[in-house]
Amino acid sequence: MAIRKLGFWASAVSLFTFLLYTICFVANYFINSSFSWTNSSDFINYSNTHSQLFKYIAMFLMPVFSFSFLIQLECLRETVCEKKKFFIRVATHFAIAFSTLISINYFVQISAIRLQIAANQAEGISQFVQSNPNSFISAVNLLGWTAFLGMACLFASVAMSNIHIECIIKYSLLVNAVMMFSSTIAYIFSVTILQALFMFAGLGAAIITESIAMCIYFKRVASIS
């Protein structure tokens, strides 16, 4: 019973964080003018003259989402039949890699990069700023979101059946996996429009659908138990 309840609340946290992230993303878009990367000095000037509140809230929410997603998978493993536990276990390993990589990125942005911006220190930060699409840290972050999250969703989808609410979970995970793999290719070949489409609209819709379905799933499993 405790595992089912934990799964429900982890799913609820995933849903809440992604919805709040979407609100912060939209709010930041309307409050601030858009920024296209040029160099570190321009980035620091932009950051010091535009509100970064919603951006940092959104960055904080994403590691929280990754932890809750990982807990979802661990709880899900306890509810599926024995022959399907292997797929959830593999999904969990990829989810750990996903959570680790994106948490490194967002912690760097919220801590070290924020402090360097406040001190107007432009030297040496270009490869550690997420706003630079060709930076080392952007590649690390996208590896987590696209390849590792995609693999986690793919293996988790295999463990779900085609019956009732599990069917919704299965196909929302599968759709997200396909979009994340497509985002990997789009990033490597710098197809910005497709990358933005898959990473923002597609990812958000799939994860929100999956989180709602997971809440219902764990609620039903708990009530049956």
Contact 11, 214 (CB under 8 A): yes
Could you tell me how many residues make up the chain?
A: 225
Given a cut of 90, whether residue 68 has pLDDT beyond it is: yes
Confidence of residue 51 (pLDDT cuts 50, 70, 90): very high
Q: What is the pTM of this model?
A: 0.94
Q: In angstroms, rounded to a whole number, what is the distance separating the alpha carbons of residues 153 and 207?
A: 10
**Boundaries of domain holding 190:** 2-33+41-224
Domain count, the chain: 1
Q: What local confidence, expressed as pLDDT, does residue 224 receive?
A: 54
pLDDT tens by residue, 70-111? 999 999 999 999 999 999 999 999 999 999 999 999 999 999
The fraction of the chain above a pLDDT of 70, given in percent, is 98
The closest of 197, 203, 100, 87 to 146, measured between CA atoms, is 203
Task: Write the single-letter amino acid at 53.
Answer: L
Mean pLDDT of 177-195: 93
pLDDT tens by residue, 125-157? 999 999 999 999 999 999 999 999 999 999 999
SS3 content of the chain, % helix, strand, coil (to 5): 85, 0, 15
